[in-house]
């Protein structure tokens, strides 16, 4: 596994959590199903009803 680079592959949000970037997800190549904030795969592996809620929130 390659070493992750801060501000490219991830960042730390105001609450202190590690947030993976869209670039990280694209490099990984698939949706993990966790409903990640920067998921570029339209949450394809997230189970319903969470998937619909995430897509609705993203559209706003």
Question: Containing domain of residue 38, as a range?
Answer: 10-59
CA distance 44 to 10: 21
Is residue 2 in some structural domain?
Answer: no
Evaluate whether 50 touches 35 at the Cβ level (below 8 Å): yes
Is residue 40 in some structural domain?
Answer: yes
Is residue 5 in some structural domain?
Answer: no
- Whole-number mean pLDDT of the chain? 96
Confidence (pLDDT) at 60: 83
Structural domains in the chain (count): 1
Confidence (pLDDT) at 2: 83
Is residue 39 in some structural domain?
Answer: yes
CA distance 45 to 8: 24
Which pTM was predicted? Answer: 0.85
Identify any residues that bridge with 6 across adjacent strands, giving them in sequence order.
Answer: 10
């Amino acid at each position: 596994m390659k070493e992750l680079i801060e501000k490219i592959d991830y960042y730390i949000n105001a609450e202190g959590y590690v947030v993976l970037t869209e670039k990280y997800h694209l490099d990984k190549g698939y949706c993990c199903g966790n409903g990640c904030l920067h998921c570029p795969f339209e949450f394809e592996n997230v189970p319903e009803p969470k998937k619909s809620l995430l897509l609705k929130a993203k559209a706003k």
